[in-house]
Amino acid sequence: MNKYEDILIKPEMTIIQTMKLIDETSMQFATVVNHDRYLLGTVTDGDIRRGILKGLPLDSSICVVMNTTPNYESEGKSINYYKQYMKKKKLKQLPIISSDNRLLYILFSDDLDSVISKPNKVVLMAGGLGTRLRPLTDTLPKPMLNVGNKPILETIIEGFKHYGFTNFIISVNYKKEMIMNYFQDGKHLGVNIEYIEETKRLGTAGALSLINNKLKEPFFVMNGDLLTKVNFEQLLEFHLETESCATMCVREHEYQIPYGVIETNDHELLSIIEKPIHKSYVNAGIYVFSPEVLDYIPTDDFFDMPELYKYLIDSKKNVSAFPLREYWLDIGRIADYEKANWDYTVEFNEGIDA
């Protein structure tokens, strides 16, 4: 994205010179910097045309028409953040500056889709029966239930796409045709989708043995009935930084004992704690695995995630827990489904995450 060098101009440049530059580069945009590359402003074809309508001479300094308070962002944020910022502001270009206001580079919206796409596969488990959500799941597979105005599974896919993960494998079984007909190959959502089919119940990990192509990059596995705002980019970075073969997302769960808890020493009563609250970490149904983990999953056999993790831990493999601090909801029961629809309008409105 070094084409930005072609549209850097000095404040001494005239309107007519800038017009020629903008026409030559076909970008309809230029950035004004001083000799130390401090960002002074930006100028568009529209800015120049408005200046001409005001009767400004064409040999006037570009400073008289430039925007002195342009949209820009600081360095050090994710590409996805910049992309979402540009989308929200309807920008075709975005100057990125250093902490001392020097221009570092310019992002162009046309380039960002190719920059952000990542090779890691995302495996979504969507084959469950959803018995606890009956009668809603008598006619629909659970991942196809609408939350807001779209299926749960579509919101999950959009969440991964938000962070540049666009290659999906969906494991299907119950009412598989409804899922496959809706999502097809994913092109209409801007992603790539493959399918693996469980012809019998294989558990929460067993379906991974059906993946045909050898994976070369760490990959995600996620239950198809979750709503979350987890930063998948940070999750993958954590997995790589800790050099783990398996990373499990965990969340804190509180439960209250509805009685006074007694502490004793033989017959002596030492204390009474009224209705204490206990906290524990529980499995959140989101995982990152290195490709080697697939070698530990039996072929065409029932195998659950707890069994896989127990085997990896017993084998002294490096296994990590990633604590979630973001929104998370397991849509397992009718009450959860009702809460999901209530939460959706607040938690999943389009926004920007750094």
- Where do runs of H (alpha helix) occur along the chain? 15-25, 45-53, 79-89, 109-116, 152-162, 176-183, 203-206, 232-241, 305-314, 334-347
For the residues 276-295, what does the mean pLDDT come to? 86
The pairing of beta strand 192-197 with beta strand 165-172? parallel
pLDDT at site 219: 94
Q: What pLDDT score was predicted for residue 351?
A: 44
pLDDT higher than threshold 50 for residue 352 = no
Give the pairing type, strands 246-256 and 319-323: parallel
pTM of the model: 0.65
* pLDDT surpasses 50 at 1: no
Whether the per-residue pLDDT at 244 is higher than 80: the answer is yes
Helical (H) or strand (E) element with 252: strand 246-256
Could you read off the pLDDT of 107-117 as tens digits, one per residue? 887 766 555 67
Retrieve residue 68's tokens: 């002195």
Most confident of 19-28, 188-197, 272-281: 188-197
Bond into 323 cis (ω within 30): no
Assess whether pLDDT exceeds 80 at residue 283: yes
The whole-chain average pLDDT of the chain stands at 83
- pLDDT > 60? residue 2: no
pLDDT score of 350 more than 60: no
Name the token pair of 100.
């001392």
Q: Which residues contact 251 (CB under 8 A, 6 or more apart)?
A: 281, 282, 284, 323, 324, 328
CATH numbers and ranges of domains, the chain: 2-113 (3.10.580.10), 117-347 (3.90.550.10)
- Distance between CA atoms of 95 and 38, rounded to whole angstroms? 11
Indicate the pLDDT class of residue 32, thresholds 50, 70 and 90. Answer: very high
Query: What span, in angstroms and rounded, lies between the C-alpha atoms of 156 and 161?
Result: 9
Least confident of 220-229, 265-274, 315-324: 265-274
How far does CA 354 lie from the centroid of its chain?
Answer: 11
Does the pLDDT of residue 288 top 90, yes or no? yes
Q: Report how many helices (DSSP H) and strands (DSSP E) the chain contains, helices first.
A: 10, 19
The pLDDT-based confidence of 259 (bands split at 50, 70, 90) is confident
Which has more confidence, 192 or 45?
Answer: 192
pLDDT tens digit sequence for 56-102 = 899 999 999 999 999 999 988 777 788 888 888 888 888 999 888 88
**Residue 318 tokens, joined:** 């490096």
Extract the tokens encoding 111: 């380039």
Average of pLDDT values for 253-258?
76
How is the beta sheet containing 73-74 ordered, strand by strand?
73-74, 93-97, 103-108
Is the model's pLDDT at 353 over the cut of 50? Answer: no
Amino acid at the residue 331: I
Quick one: pLDDT at residue 39? 92
- Who wins on pLDDT, 262 or 293? 293
Q: Is 26 exposed, middle or buried (0-12, 13-18, 19+ CB in 10 A)?
A: exposed
Per-residue confidence band for 354, with pLDDT thresholds at 50, 70 and 90: very low
Question: What is the residue-wise DSSP string for 201-223?
Answer: --HHHHGGGG--SPP-S-EEEEE
The yes-or-no verdict on residue 256 having pLDDT over 80 is no
- Rounded Cα–Cα distance for residues 5 and 1 (Å): 9
Higher-confidence residue of 116 and 278: namely: 278
Averaging pLDDT over each range in 39-43, 76-80, 127-131, 211-215, which range is the top one? 39-43
Residue with the bigger pLDDT between 266 and 295: it is: 295
pLDDT of 76 reads 80
